[in-house]
Structure 1
């Protein structure tokens, strides 16, 4: 059974239950006669009115038995007679044929979720046995035929999401067996006909998003079986009938987005004990929320925002143990005295609460400490636009699932804000208003945008932690000029760029400073030496350069200094050995040259690390560096070839394999001189043969070209460093190889595409020399524990000649590059390697991530591929080609607007993949344009998630 996802979303369990009553599929034998039966003729005639671009109805032909045709179910008792026709979601176009009215044994007719146009043929009224009719999610026009009133056996009638017009025909009242009537999202008008009162079996009525007139008929509240009533956005006016408040069978009522007036009666919730979802937002209701709400013990969602409700919230609201969403924004609810906050304490009993919205009401006073004791499942807390003053409760960090905290436009002050290790996102502009803040802990979230200059307004700030977010831009000088900062300051693991401001010297009382794993550039300012109380300084994994300033000798209390993975140059300053407090120094993977000191921290090999600095000499004997005599150094270099150990932090096994291949190749080279043109690679950390042998026992030693590929990878990885590229290190590390497949949400997939795009931008434009990866594909994109993507495997990479354009020849020889399906077509034709080739591979990667299909999928024949597959479907049947996990995720999204944003984001991503994978290189967009488009998609996606909550 496949049914319109919009119907299932709005009608929930009732729709599922009703659908489950349909008869199971049976395999009929078809007609024993060689001549076509009446049902076969009717179906072939109906097929002639349809367009079938994907060939879904290819089996509908005279050479196969009728009862084996796709979507056809035949009767057990009447061979050859069709009892069910289910051809929904097949991308069919054309019209609904009147010949379907000849299928006199038909009990189920499901044509939903296609692209059908034209009117509903009145001949369908001849289907006297029909129980289910689903024509939803098409583009059908005209009115609802009165002839359908003759289908008196109907239990389900869904015409939702079409372009139907006119009034609901009064003959609908003759469908006495009808349990579901779904007419939502059309252009129907007029009043709801009185004949609906005759539908005594009706369980669900969905009329949302039409343009009816008049009031809600009172008789709807007298339908004995009615449990779900959806009237949102239907232009209805007047009061909510008292009969609805007395309808004991009611489980869901949605009247949002109308012009309804009146109050919620004091005893409103006394007679609807089964109510689970009540949506009343965006009307003109006034008065108080009655205390009888506590009687609705099954209530999961109560939304009454954008009305004129007043008074205080009843304190017994905490009795709603199943409450998940309480949305009361934009009203006149009053919270002025401490006792008015009693409802907040009561809500701490609601362990399933996900969403609490009280923004833009008449709320004053201080936030109660009980706020921190709300459900640990709480995802959204909105209190903005009120007159709240005082401090934010210190333990608000207990709300570990919180994704949205809206407190702007209040008068909050106070010393402490901790949102540490949650899922918050958005910018930090609000925080600049909390001028009395002493402690700011918002690390391990997803905040984005720049670090605002307004943080300099926090003149009482003692500590801050902004680490592990997605902050961009430069470090604002105002943040480093806060005079009270005294202990820890953390900016690490963001996307910050630009130089370290000279105002760093103002942090005279800070003892710990973290800014590692960003994109900082330039030199260390000499003012840093003024931070005389600094104990720990972490600047590793950036793009800092230049020599270390002599002023660092002023750091008399320095204990830990980590400057690894940058581009510092010059000699290692000897004054570092004179800092008696220094217990650990890491300057690995820079460009330091010359002699390594032997005193102070340099006298203990375990206290410092200098790996990855190719031109160092001297030092203590444990380092095994050559003496600083130039002649002896050169001699040693010729005698002792050193093999580098290049290990991906995530993909250890693959790179270790390359190491072993190179080791054996190099050994054979030295004894047999088979490859005299390949010079030995020198100046890399020494490791023992036994270490290599143990680590590479799984190698395929005879792999052709393995050594050449390894050397190419070493050349590329030697000088490039980026947070989204796999790095070269000298120690093995790995994660559990048995980690199961992870389901990635659409937002996570977009973040991964961001990471890969940033990596390509760095390779193509921002690295020491332009690099073309030549083998971008999913298996070479590795995810770390924080779901950050890293591009690896540079065995086929090409370093472009200095100053050349992307179409110029590379330094090394040509040949086919890449993997079939991901390599651009011009490579197969012998064209020159270019950055446009990587863009093509990236486009295929995008399409694969959205569709879940590999470019080599055997469903693509020799004349098509994933690009053509997506191109044909993108304007017609996008939902048919997206990955199943994302389709299921889409079905769980609440709200039409949020769902629309999600679908539009999917379409935009598919368009992006098509642009990148264009056949002609000149038609492909650049990485900068890719990143710009991803920003637009992500912003729309994030806004959609917010509006859906």
Structure 2
């Protein structure tokens, strides 16, 4: 076993030793995972020992396709080729490996259909094919794999109906997220009584959720979000072990079952963006808004105050006409009492409305001040029409306080992005005014352009706020860095080159330098992250989402204290550590966030990756391996994309990541200024891309 070393140089010739190993006729285990091996997977592996039981070469840089001769290795119990750059199809000869118990091919670019011969692998326990480009349907022969426990096929291009009747009853984890499956969940699904985790999120499934799910008693995770399920939530009260449940973004209706409040192990329940109605439970888990989400259900009422729902109306009980005289007197007395109470309530409501109107006038004055720069504002009706009635098909993103729609303005023949604020969310109004205030007086080529705004009421008389921005067609930096997490229709057609990443990082650093130093009043963005960096046709970066932005010179001590107590924390993983202990917003916090962004751009790893636990962070992970093993941690998608032969990629990446580390220092005073970071990144570009640099700065 030679796993977890630094063998290889990411190039052709690294795998020549495999041909030499064909002479080792008694070889039983070959494990070279987690190295730097590159080049094409040679056909000679078909001639390895027939005694070979484990062939593990994952987490390298191996390209090419799996040779048909893989079927010759008839003693294989484990085949792990995951996290490489393999292409081509999975050969049907895989079905000859009848001793195989674990097949791990995830995180490659293998395409074509899953061969039906996979049903010959009757001893298979684990099947991991996620993050590839498999298409077609799931072979029904999979039902022959009666020992199968885990099937992970998320993030592919699979379609058709799911052959539930062929699914082995031994399954305990089934993940089919982010494909194009159609059809419904049948009652047969209740036969999978060993299921601990079921995820069919973000497909095209429809119909009702079957009652038989209640038979899957070990269930802990149930992800059904992003489909077209309708009907009511079935009676699943027997699934008391549920920890994570997501029914969001479907067409479910009816009342929220009260028994969900009593699931003692529940850690996450998302019922958002459906058609639920009636009162929201207020007991048990429904007392915690960080666990339960119910937004986007316009007919819900009640619940805890954090849900910001309308109050529920109490109906008076009906009374039959055939009552005795004493009963009638009681009824009349009760009616008078109720009428008196209603009058009292009406008086209180009227008083409250007067106070609210006064408060709204004050808020409107502030809003008017923030919006006075806009010469032409849009109405609610215009925005409703432009977004096709706020159709979910036009949603292109969502943020802390609202949803972003792609919209068309026929009068101007122009496509724009409209951010509609969720006014039920605490802080939405402040976010609206912060964006207006921050963007109305500043101009920079790397800032998203705020065109106009809407401060109005909707057709039901509710407050309505929206911001209209220029539309940037290439989407967010986040979707370019993590395309596997994006639905196929929005997924970029290629990856970013090293130079493009460097240009984008310079764009972001430049605009932060402008906000911190060159504005009349220093502005702190407070939420720098990849999803808030938008790209135009030329992949020029534009920083967006100023909902948390702060003008430092506008603060008196009282408002700074309020900000501290409210917790201006930005986003977990990107927010500076001092924000987590009540620190006030400063330009140093933005520098930290930019540093994390820079590290993520060139390693491909999020700061919230499951790899990072406790004090082991993205920052410490990179610091521990520089400079000797920089190529081990870098995003391998940059290695073979747009670089000349002999390009000193290790040296270039080391210098860029060192800038990121200096931005991410624990102490704010030890972090470099963003202006200095900008100069260093430009210097790196000049040094390594003299001939092909873009003259954009």
Separation in 2, partners of 1:300, 1:362: 26
SS of residue matched to 2:228: coil
Which residue does 1:344 correspond to in 2? 282
Residue 875 of structure 1, CA deviation:
3.0
Of 260, 282, 286, the residue aligned with 2:230 is: 286
Conserved 8 A contact 2:18-2:45: no
In 2, Cα distance between equivalents of 1:922 and 1:122: 42
CA contact (8 A) 1:356 1:382 kept: no
Q: Pick from 108, 120, 127: which aligns with 1:181?
A: 127
Q: CA deviation at 1:314?
A: 0.8
> Are 1:197 and 2:140 matched, yes or no?
no
Q: Shift of the alpha carbon at 1:187?
A: 2.9
Contact 1:54 1:91 in 2 (8 A): no
Note if contact 1:847-1:867 (Cα within 8 Å) is conserved in structure 2: no
- Which residues of structure 1 form unaligned runs of 5+? 1-24, 28-46, 67-71, 73-77, 373-380, 392-402, 433-448, 458-470, 477-492, 501-511, 518-743, 756-782, 792-842, 861-865, 888-908, 924-928, 931-949
Contact 2:309–2:424, Cα closer than 8 Å, also in 1: no
Name the CA distance, whole Å, in 2 between partners of 1:206 and 1:136: 13
Matched position secondary structure for 2:108: coil
1:9-28 residue pairs with structure 2 within 5 A? none
Say whether residues 1:324 and 2:328 are aligned partners: no
Query: Quick one: which of 103, 107, 110 aligns to 2:53?
Result: 107
Partner Cα distance (2:59, 2:632) in 1: 23
Does structure 1 residue 299 correspond to structure 2 residue 66? Answer: no
Native 8 Å contact 1:262 1:284 kept in 2 = yes
Structure 2 distance, partners of 1:269, 1:921, is 58
Name stretches of at least 5 consecutive residues in structure 2 with no aligned partner: 314-348, 354-398, 404-419, 437-448, 458-514, 523-547, 562-570, 590-597, 604-617, 641-648, 662-675, 691-695
Q: Which secondary structure does the structure 1 equivalent of 2:205 belong to?
A: strand
1:94 to 31, 39, 51: 39
CA shift in 2, pair 1:322/1:430, >3 Å: farther
Q: How does 1:121-270 map to 2 (within 5 A)?
A: 121-221=67-167, 223-265=168-210, 267-270=211-214
- The equivalent of 1:683 in structure 2 is none
User: 1:899-922: per-residue Cα shift (whole Å, max 9, x none)?
Assistant: xxxxxxxxxx99996534457699
Does the aligned pair in 2 maintain the 1:850–1:910 contact within 8 Å? no
Contact 2:12 2:40 in 1 (8 A): no
Cα distance in 1 for partners of 2:632, 2:72 equals: 43
1:416-815 pair list within 5 angstroms: 427-429=431-433, 496=551, 514=558, 746-748=573-575
Partners of 2:100 and 2:177 lie apart in 1 by 25
Deviation per CA, 1:260-308: give whole Å up to 9, x if none: 221123x334311111111112222111012x22221111221122221
Residue pair 1:358, 1:383 contacting (<8 A) in 2 also? no
2:337 corresponding residue in structure 1: none
Distance 1:54 1:787 in 2: 50
Residues 325 and 425 of structure 1: CA distance in aligned 2, closer, same or farther (over 3 Å): farther
Distance 1:329 1:873, change over 3 A: closer
- Residue by residue over 1:710-756, the C-alpha shift from the partner in whole angstroms, topping out at 9 and shown as x without a partner, is xxxxxxxxxxxxxxxxxxxxxxxxxxxxxxxxxx975146x99xx9x
Query: Aligned with 1:195: secondary structure?
Result: helix
Residue aligning to 1:658 = none
Report what 1:359 is aligned to.
295
1:135/1:317 CA distance change after superposition, 3 Å? same
Residues 1:260 and 1:105: Cα distance change in structure 2 (over 3 Å): same
The one of 910, 915, 924 equivalent to 2:682 is: 915
Instruction: Assess, with a 3 A threshold, how the Cα gap between structure 1 residues 382 and 271 changes in structure 2: closer, same or farther.
Output: farther
The count of aligned residue pairs is 438
Instruction: Find the aligned partners of 1:189 and 1:856 in 2 and give their Cα distance.
Output: 38
Distance in 2 of aligned mates of 1:869 and 1:197: 39
- Contact preservation (8 Å) 2:143, 2:166: yes
- Going from structure 1 to structure 2, the CA distance change for 1:88 and 1:328 (only over 3 Å counts) comes to same
What secondary structure does 1:172 align onto?
Answer: helix
| Residues 1:327 and 1:913: Cα distance change in structure 2 (over 3 Å) | farther
The alpha carbon displacement at 1:516 in A equals 7.8
**Of the two structures, which has the highest relative contact order with CA contacts closer than 8 Å and spacing of 6 or more?**
2
Q: Report how far residue 165 of structure 1 moved.
A: 2.8
Tell me whether 1:875 sits opposite 2:642 in the alignment. Answer: no
| Deviation of the 1:203 alpha carbon | 0.3
Counterparts of 1:847 and 1:331, CA distance in 2: 38
Shift of 1:784: 11
Contact 2:43 2:67 (C-alpha < 8 Å) held by counterparts: yes
Q: Kindly provide the CA deviation profile for residues 151-174 of structure 1, in whole angstroms up to 9, marking residues without a partner as x.
A: 111111122233333322222111
Give the conservation status (yes or no) of the 8 Å contact 1:316–1:346: no
Distance in structure 1 (CA, Å) of the matches to 2:679 and 2:216: 50
Distance in 1 (alpha carbons) for counterparts of 2:422 and 2:585: 35
Give how far 1:147 is off. 1.3
Give the secondary structure class of the aligned counterpart of 1:318: helix
In 2, Cα distance between the equivalents of 1:157 and 1:426? 52
1:280 and 1:868, CA in 2 relative to 1: closer, same or farther beyond 3 A?
closer
Q: What is the distance in 1 between the residues matched to 2:252 and 2:215? A: 22
> Against the structure 1 CA distance between its residues 83 and 789, is the aligned structure 2 distance closer, same or farther, given a 3 Å change threshold?
farther
Using the size of structure 2 for normalisation, the TM-score is 0.50
SS at match of 1:316: helix
